[in-house]
Amino acid sequence: MDHDEITRWLREEDPEALTRLWARADEVRRDNVGDQVHLRGLIEIGNYCVRRCGYCGLSAGRSGLQRYRMSAGEILDCAAQAVEYGYGTVVIQAGEDPLLTAEFIGGLVAEIKSTTPLAVTLSLGERGDEELAHWRSAGADRYLLRFETSNRGLFDRIHPPLGDRRSDRPAMLLRMAEMGYEVGSGVMVGIPGQTYDDLAGDVETFARLNLDMIGLGPYIPHPDTPLGAETGAGADQAPASEELTYRVMALARLVCPLANIPSTSALATLNLAEGRELGLARGANVVMPNLTPRQYRPMYEIYPAKACIRETARQCHSCMRSRIESLGRSVGLGPGASPNYLARRRQTSGDVTCVQ
Ligand code: 5AD
Ligand code: FES
């Protein structure tokens, strides 16, 4: 699919054509990653952040937010819960927080890997190669870092640099793949200043980076952030809508058939009744039930009115299961690595048998 075709799909107005897009994405999903829906237990281990991303409620520039960091013991308890619920993976996520040191995270990863069968995904922001390599050798399997937008000017406007360091997330993602990580990235849909053309470029970037996981959600304005007050009403502005998010998701499935694609909580925030289900029916094959202890959830306020902040981990767990079963799909077993990653590993190791 070329740039113009992707743009046409993003702007398509004929409902019958869109029904065909959803059906095609669903078929490609089934043929390439199957009917299982993998569960990733999300542990939001802290909300301190040194960055000032214009859209994010955890920004260092935000005052009036109570901050927390979970202890190693609390995090390991969440991992034990993931095992109890039969999840194959835990996702350890936090703001960009230098006090989550290479040693602390490395120790946690090593402990989880030596005491549980879990795959470990890290999502800790832009970190140095040394730390990333250290965590990989401690046993971390995957890393998530969204590039947010492929429009470099827009990226720079909403991501003030830290000191004189210039972010280059696509380059970081490629280096992580070289280190042996299974690599996830993605974008927000409808950032003020983002055009349809930009989004088409984002979809092309998913393919160019050969991503193993692609996370997408609508941009949700946070009133206590600089971007929260902007409307982005330019003529070509991409709307931050549920519908456009599904289109990007369906197109992501078509250009990266072997990737794992979560149906995200930002979608559930726009449509709690059926956002997750529609995502799963339009290309997604992963959901991320929240394992974060209830007392911390309201503080991980990336955007306001986040779905499911009052539910306990147990409630999230049974809710997700019944949503998956209501679609006639089954809950994934095992770590659920992306077939894209497994194929890449086979190629680079010259090994013809499965690396798992
Ligand atoms: N609206 C929607 N998504 C957001 N994120 C951060 N802030 C917002 C917001 N206001 C997303 C970013 C980030 C991920 C952890 O959450 O894409 O990478
Ligand atoms: Fe979050 Fe059900 S969708 S607990």
pLDDT in the model for residue 354:
39
Nearest ligand to the CA atom of 287: 2
CA distance 349 to 113: 22
Atom 6 of ligand 1, nearest CA residue: 56
Element (H, E) at 202: helix 196-208
User: What was the pLDDT predicted at 349?
Assistant: 72
Q: Which of 179-183, 216-220, 345-349 has the lowest mean pLDDT?
A: 345-349
Ligand nearest to the CA of 225: 1
Query: Which three-class secondary structure state does DSSP give residue 340?
Result: helix
Q: Domain limits of the chain?
A: 3-348
Position 246 pLDDT exceeds 70: yes
* Ligand 1 atom at minimal distance to the Cα of residue 188: 17
Determine the Cα angle at 259 with ends 257 and 261, to 5°: 110
Judged against a pLDDT cut of 90, whether residue 227 lies above it is answered with yes
Distance 257 CA to ligand 2 centre (A): 27
**pLDDT tens-digit readout, 195-224:** 999 999 999 999 999 999 999 999 999 999
- Which ligand 2 atom sits nearest the alpha carbon of residue 320? 2
For residue 231, the model assigns a pLDDT of 67
Alpha carbon of 154 to ligand 2 centroid (Å): 32
Q: Which of 44, 287, 311, 327 to mutate to test the pocket of ligand 2 (most atoms within 8 A of CB)?
A: 311
- DSSP classification of residue 335: -
* Best residue among 308, 310, 317, 321 to mutate for probing ligand 2, ranked by most atoms within 8 Å of CB: 308
Regarding the beta carbon of 42 and ligand 2, being less than 6 Å apart is answered no
pLDDT band at 310 (very low <50, low <70, confident <90, very high): confident
Q: What does the mean pLDDT of the chain come to? A: 94
Q: Give the residue, 132 or 308, on which the prediction is more confident.
A: 132
User: What value does the CA radius of gyration of the chain take, rounded to a whole number of Å?
Assistant: 19
Residue 353: predicted pLDDT:
45
Residue 162, CA distances (Å) to 51, 146, 167, 337 in order = 7, 17, 9, 33
Confirm or reject: Cβ of 288 under 6 Å from ligand 2.
no
The pLDDT of residue 355 is: 37
**pLDDT exceeds 80 at position 232:** no
Q: Is the CB of 287 under 6 A from ligand 2?
A: no
Q: Which of 56-65, 247-256, 321-330, 344-353 has the lowest mean pLDDT?
A: 344-353
Q: How far is the CA of 125 from the centre of ligand 2 (A)?
A: 25
pLDDT above 90 covers a percentage of the chain that reads 83
pLDDT at residue number 165: 82
Above 90 in pLDDT, residue 156? yes
pLDDT for 350: 61
Q: Strands 330-331 and 213-218, how do they pair?
A: unpaired
Q: How far is the CA of 167 from the centre of ligand 1 (A)?
A: 17
CATH superfamily of 3-348: Aldolase class I (3.20.20.70)
For ligand 1, pick from 222, 301, 303, 306 the residue to mutate: most ligand atoms within 8 Å of CB: 303
The answer on pLDDT for 292 being more than 90 is: yes
Q: Is the pLDDT of residue 6 over 80?
A: yes
pLDDT at 235: 80
Q: Is the pLDDT of residue 91 over 60?
A: yes
Kindly give the interhelix angle for 102-115 and 129-138, rounded to the nearest 10 degrees. Answer: 20
The structure's pTM equals: 0.95
Select from 42, 45, 55 the residue to mutate for testing ligand 1; criterion: most ligand atoms less than 8 Å from CB: 55
- Residue 39 token pair: 């569960």
**Res. 351: pLDDT tops 70:** no
Question: How far, in Å, CA of 33 to CA of 185, rounded?
Answer: 18
Look at ligand 2, atom 4, and give the residue with the nearest C-alpha. 316
User: Over 80: is that where the pLDDT of 158 sits?
Assistant: yes
Amino acid letter, residue 248: V
Lowest pLDDT segment from 171-175, 181-185, 305-309, 346-350: 346-350
**In this predicted structure, what is the pLDDT of residue 347?**
85
Q: Is the pLDDT of residue 44 over 60?
A: yes
pLDDT score of 174 more than 90: yes
Q: Which pLDDT does position 348 carry in this prediction?
A: 78
Distance from C-alpha of 200 to C-alpha of 222, rounded to nearest angstrom: 25
